[in-house]
């Protein structure tokens, strides 16, 4: 049997002394799609940050990465959803792509950026500002950026928030057509997990959420 890409054991998250996310246990395999179903109040964003090493106070034993890939700089990718590196609304898509790629270690040339935009179906919008995109176009562009530099695992936090059900379907048809690697995303909806053809993991409610 193939070795898991990621193993999560007894990972819990607290917030101001209250248990936000009760201990969770799961594995993710190469090229697998996994939906973490729960609300933001259940610590879904914090869980993704913990997995990517961007949340302090998490035991090294709680998140185990396949040893051969552990030192890979681009193991995880948040794409443009990275809360520490958001897109700038005044930039064009081409400028955003060059800017974002530089944050990941290698800045793309304008020619390279144009190639990616054409491949993703954004060629006609390359000179459009990020602020001019529709909700669907913005969601698709943010997700597509997660594929830069070939990460091993994509992390997306509620990637279709603010979209209608038909738009969610279009989003997943688009993103899955790009053949992403292992994908771990959060969503409050079981239906969205079905759209993404993803294995469902329902997150437990922590003390903070249960007492509301």
**Burial code of 152-189, b = ≥16 C-beta within 10 A, e = fewer?**
bbbbbbbbbeebeeebbebbbebbeeeebbbbbbbbee
Residue 1 lies in a domain: no
Report whether pLDDT(212) > 50: no
Please give the residue range of the domain that contains residue 24. Answer: 6-210
Instruction: Dump pLDDT digits (tens) for 95-143.
Output: 999 988 887 778 899 999 999 999 999 999 999 999 999 999 999 999 9
Residue 65 lies in a domain: yes
Instruction: Dump pLDDT digits (tens) for 31-89.
Output: 899 999 998 888 888 888 888 877 776 766 778 877 656 555 566 776 656 655 678 89
- pTM, rounded to two decimals: 0.86
Q: How many domains does the chain have?
A: 1
Please tell me the least confidently modeled range out of 9-13, 57-61, 150-154, 181-185. Answer: 57-61
Residue 168 lies in a domain: yes
């Amino acid at each position: 049997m193939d070795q898991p890409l990621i193993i999560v054991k007894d990972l819990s998250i607290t917030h101001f002394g209250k248990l936000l996310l009760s201990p969770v246990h799961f594995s993710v395999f190469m090229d697998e799609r996994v939906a973490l179903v729960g609300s933001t109040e259940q610590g879904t964003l914090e869980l993704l940050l913990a997995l990517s090493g961007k949340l302090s106070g998490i035991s090294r034993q709680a998140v185990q990465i396949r040893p051969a890939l552990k030192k890979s700089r681009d193991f995880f990718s948040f794409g443009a959803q990275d809360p520490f590196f958001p897109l700038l609304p005044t930039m064009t898509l081409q400028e955003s792509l060059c800017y974002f790629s530089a944050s990941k270690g290698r800045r793309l040339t304008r020619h390279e950026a144009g190639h990616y935009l054409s491949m993703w179906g954004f060629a006609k919008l390359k000179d459009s500002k990020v602020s001019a995109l529709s909700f669907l176009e913005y969601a698709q562009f943010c997700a597509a950026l997660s594929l830069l530099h070939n990460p091993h695992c994509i992390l997306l936090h509620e990637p279709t928030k603010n979209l209608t059900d038909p738009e969610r379907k279009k989003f997943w048809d688009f993103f899955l057509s790009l053949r992403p690697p292992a994908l771990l995303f959060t969503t409050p909806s079981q239906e969205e997990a079905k759209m993404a053809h993803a294995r469902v993991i329902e997150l437990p409610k922590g003390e903070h959420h249960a007492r509301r």
